[in-house]
Structure 1
Amino acid sequence: MEDKENIQVEETQTEVFEGREEEMAASAAEIRAYAREAMRGKWGYGVLICLLGLLLYIAPSVPGLFIEDNTTLSYIWSILSAIYSWGLWLGFLACFVDIARKLPNDYTRLFTGFRSIKYLLKIALTFLLQTIFLILWTLLLIVPGIIKAFSYAMTEYILIDHPEYGPLQAITESRKMMDGNRMRLFILDLSFIGWNLLCLVTFGFAALWVFPYFHTARAKFYLDVKAAYEQKLAATALQEAETVPAEPVEEEKEFEVEE
């Protein structure tokens, strides 16, 4: 009886430790419900983040109006504007990661991408590499390009939590994290089609509420996938540690002392 109970306990621990997707993975409806609950009392903050983000995004276009097209200065300004917009986008996502984590409102998080020049350039290089990879995959076939887009979807979130990661490291980590989760994210995005249609019908006005809702849901998806991935890594490390053979202990030799 004791042996059977021990086997059952070990099987249960193994199942939990491996993070079986059918038991642990939250559905799209559950993620949306969590996002709505996390947004309770924060809708105004979410709307203001969207408005501030929009204003800051279009700000570089104003000086661009006074720069002549097809000149060296215009090309330089386009590159700087792109780098600026990528850094701003990372900060925008960071705000909704905080909401998903139920942290206090912090408008300075919108400028997370500008914590240092090195970090900003790292963000820009990451976006550039993702774009190149997606273009190359799409040139092969449309479907592989779409699949890779979902594989890289967690890259920005990873850079938010791990600013020390390099561009390729963040992209690779996203690809590993999304292994087996791409369809789940696709279904989650698909569940917002009705809300996106509402944005079109209201000429974009509803986006002020839909965007915070959508990006909080995506941030919650990231937190769930990250937790499952880290649990899987811990399980793998434990299994490897258990399978490492112990070093043989040499028996102490007894020496006879001659009298």
Structure 2
Amino acid sequence: MNRSSKELKRLARENLTGHYSTPMGAFVCASAISLAIELPFSMLQNNTQTTLQTIVFGLAEFLIGLLSSVLIVGQFRVHLSMARKQPYELKQLFYGFKNHPDRIILCSLLVIIFTVLACIPAIAGTIFFLLKQGIPGVIVCAATMIISLILCILLQLMFQQIYFLLLDRQDLSAMGCIKESARLMKGHKGRLFYILLSFLGMDILVLLSLGIGSLWIMPYQSQTYTLFYLDITGQLPEVSASGSAPQQDQPTFNEYV
């Protein structure tokens, strides 16, 4: 029997209560590494930059995004270990760099390609609007934007389990992880979409707190998504039956909203 979103979030809070330091540290380190790599390129941006500089910056952003996907896999490695009541530590953040990072990067690249394909209707609608001004152009542009938005949301839901599969299914290729994620999400996309919407208020709090709230909210969301993965793969009952939180890691934050 599938757990409700409320139950998954309750279990996530139980797992994290008193054990925030490692997942929070993994999130902070991953963000800091990506920012440190991106910062030199951002500092070179100005109003008088050449086309070549713009292209180089765009390429750098693209490559940094692929690098970040390897760090994201490491973060979910921490969360999977925590959810399974297994030992976990901060150095698991770099797990992806030691275990076929090419597979992770290729998988992320394929997701980007699929996302770009989903945006084709919006691109076509925008071109139509630029070529043909007026009400017809606005209607076509708006309709194609909505179509692309729906396609992108569906893709996000279908590919949500990719990072976990990259960790658990070493036998699968990059495309195999994408296909398996889509298979696992059959009949579960509505549930996951509801969970994503339930975090909308917290996402707003992150913005209002100038990002500070993400230190607590991002680990909470990641642990909830991890438990969702264990739930749809039939692993959650055995790993959460005891109802006890992991017994390692020193308590740092005792409560979460």
TM over 0.5: yes
Report the Cα offset of residue 163 of structure 1: 3.0
After TM superposition, the structure 1 = structure 2 runs for residues 137-148 of structure 1, keeping only pairs within 5 Å, are 137-140=118-121, 141-142=147-148, 143-148=150-155
Report the Cα offset of residue 66 of structure 1: 6.9
Partner of residue 61 from structure 1, selected from 15, 22, 38: 38
Gap change, CA 1:75 and 1:34, over 3 Å in 2: closer
* Alpha carbons 2:66, 2:109 under 8 Å: kept: no
Report the Cα offset of residue 41 of structure 1: 2.2
Say if 2:87 is the partner of 1:104.
yes
Tell me: higher relative CO, structure 1 or 2? Use CA pairs within 8 A at least 6 residues apart: 2
Which residue in the other structure is 1:172 paired with? 179
Residue 60 of structure 1 aligns to a residue in which SS? helix
Structure 2: segments with no counterpart, 5+ residues: 122-146, 236-257
Aligned partners of 1:132 and 1:98: how far apart in 2? 30
* Alpha carbons 1:100, 1:217 under 8 Å: kept: no
Report the Cα offset of residue 200 of structure 1: 2.0
Aligned partners of 1:200 and 1:74: how far apart in 2? 26
Partner of residue 167 from structure 2, selected from 160, 169, 177: 160
> Deviations for 1:106-135, whole angstroms, at most 9, x for unmatched residues?
11110011015xx11211111111121122
Partner of residue 151 from structure 1, selected from 152, 155, 158: 158
Tell me how many residue pairs correspond in the alignment. Answer: 203
* Alpha carbons 1:46, 1:209 under 8 Å: kept: no
Aligned partners of 2:171 and 2:91: how far apart in 1? 20
* Alpha carbons 2:23, 2:75 under 8 Å: kept: no
Which residue in the other structure is 2:207 paired with? 200
Residue 164 of structure 1 aligns to a residue in which SS? coil
User: What is the percentage of aligned positions where both structures have the same residue?
Assistant: 27
Report the Cα offset of residue 57 of structure 1: 1.5
Aligned partners of 1:145 and 1:77: how far apart in 2? 24
Aligned partners of 1:136 and 1:77: how far apart in 2? 22
* Alpha carbons 2:70, 2:101 under 8 Å: kept: yes
Aligned partners of 2:158 and 2:119: how far apart in 1? 14
Using structure 1 for the length normalisation, give the TM-score. 0.70
Report the Cα offset of residue 75 of structure 1: 7.2
Residue 18 of structure 2 aligns to a residue in which SS? coil
Aligned partners of 2:196 and 2:114: how far apart in 1? 22
Say if 2:12 is the partner of 1:35.
yes
Report the Cα offset of residue 79 of structure 1: 5.4
Using structure 2 for the length normalisation, give the TM-score. 0.71
